[in-house]
Amino acid sequence: MMLDGIVDDPVHVAGHVVIPRGATARLEVVKVQRASNTKGRDRISFKVNDLRFRGRVYPVATNSFEVRGRSEGNRTARKVVGGAGVGAAVGGIIGRGAGAAIGAAAGGTTGAIAAGSGKSRLVVPAETRLQFRFTTSVAFKR
């Protein structure tokens, strides 16, 4: 998948602007990795294929830049532990010691089900700043 981006900060070399602010950067999505519902992170990697400015197209080679979502493992753990705590409290009030153990198990299971069902996917909003480095030299004409 190809996307267009805009160079936000001009690039200077030896006091001269070699890539002006507002140049178009043609980005390629090079990797998409989706987390499971209970572990891992969503990840999207981009690289720049070319820059367009002053009526010219300059092919470039850059590193990839990875955008990562939040960890699903941490989110799942919080919901399971929270569910178990609430279940133990309710079970303890209703059935004392044995009720607390049953409530904790039921609450933990409910937390795990809730964690697995409500996954939000990674979104890279417009105007997100990405930073790349050239991996080869490029000659830009003035």
- The confidence score (pLDDT) of residue 11 equals 92
Same domain, 110 and 135: no
Q: Which residues pair with 28 in a beta bridge?
A: 2, 47
Same domain, 63 and 84: no
pTM value > 0.85: no
pLDDT in tens, 66-92: 998 876 555 545 554 555 455 444 444
Same domain, 35 and 89: no
Of all residues in the chain, what percent carry a pLDDT higher than 90? 40
Rounded to an integer, what distance in angstroms lies between the CA atom of residue 32 and that of residue 113? 26
Closest listed residue to residue 118, CA positions, set 41, 39, 43, 37: 37
- The confidence score (pLDDT) of residue 91 equals 46
Would you state the structure tokens that stand for residue 53, as one six-digit string?
Answer: 């400015």
Q: Which long-range contacts (CB under 8 A, 24 or more apart) does 73-79 make?
A: 73/38, 73/39, 73/40, 75/115, 76/38, 76/39, 76/112, 76/115, 76/116, 79/111, 79/112, 79/114, 79/115
Its domain, for residue 12, covers: 1-69+123-142
Same domain, 63 and 78: no
Would you state the structure tokens that stand for residue 89, as one six-digit string?
Answer: 């409290």
Same domain, 47 and 105: no
Same domain, 2 and 36: yes
pLDDT in tens, 107-119: 545 544 544 445 5
Same domain, 4 and 33: yes
Total of domains in the chain? 2
Say which residue the tokens 């417009």 belong to. Answer: 126
Same domain, 56 and 94: no
* pLDDT, averaged across the chain: 76
Same domain, 52 and 95: no
